[in-house]
Amino acid sequence: MLTSNISKRYGDSFMLDVDFTLDDDIMAVMGSSGAGKTTLLECIAGLTAPDEGEIVLNGGILFSAERDIDLSPGKRKVGMVLQDNALFPHLTLMNNVLFSRSRVTDEDRSLAVKLLDELNIAHLKDKYPGEVSGGERQRAAIARALIMEPDILLFDEPTSSLDKRTSRDAFALIRKISSEKCIPVMIASHDDMVRSITGNILYLCHGRQLKVCDDPDDFTEPWDQG
């Protein structure tokens, strides 16, 4: 379970302010460009420090302004798949997955192959990112996040560079991973197709949490209301 009650200010023009809880489920974070979606994920991952509040994951405090706690990203057990996947072009998919391991063991290699196989790209393990498709690169990035055995997975615009069919497959894969591994997932996305895998949607507008909605069909996007 993730609970987040935080605020983060950037100058006088923007302030992220959220208060929500996520069980072992999928939450989509939606809103227009500049709404604060990526900032929220970065706060949870430890890439950005909030100004106030607290972030708790499975009972462990990741951040607390009051208690002066701010765990580094490496200590958070948070897997994050970035918008551009951030694979190293000079490393094979296999070595990208293993990159977080300072000392690679046979057990690590076996786990990496297992994850790549689960994601249907084990046959590409010796290929380089430039030699595979966008969807295949994304699967490698997911495997790299999963090898950390994270307690939560964060996706930042996972379909921004994918065509419609590959986007549909990507969302189906995310739903499968969340279900089979019983791991909560947060997806920052502009893509309305995310509604096909969850009705749990946190709407942001200029950093302000407008609503956590279980039935998005009953909610008109407020950034379209003028």
pLDDT tens-digit series, residues 11-55 = 888 999 999 999 989 999 999 888 999 999 999 999 999 999 999
pTM score = 0.88
How many whole angstroms separate alpha carbon 218 and alpha carbon 52?
Answer: 32
CB atoms within 10 A of CB 142: 26
Q: What is the mean pLDDT of the chain?
A: 90
pLDDT tens-digit series, residues 170-191 = 999 999 999 988 999 999 998 9
Tokens 């983060």 appear where? 8
- pLDDT surpassing 70 at residue 139: yes
- CA of 74: how far to CAs of 77, 101, 212, in Å? 7, 11, 29
Supply the pLDDT for residue 213: 63
Which whole number is the average pLDDT over 137-141?
93
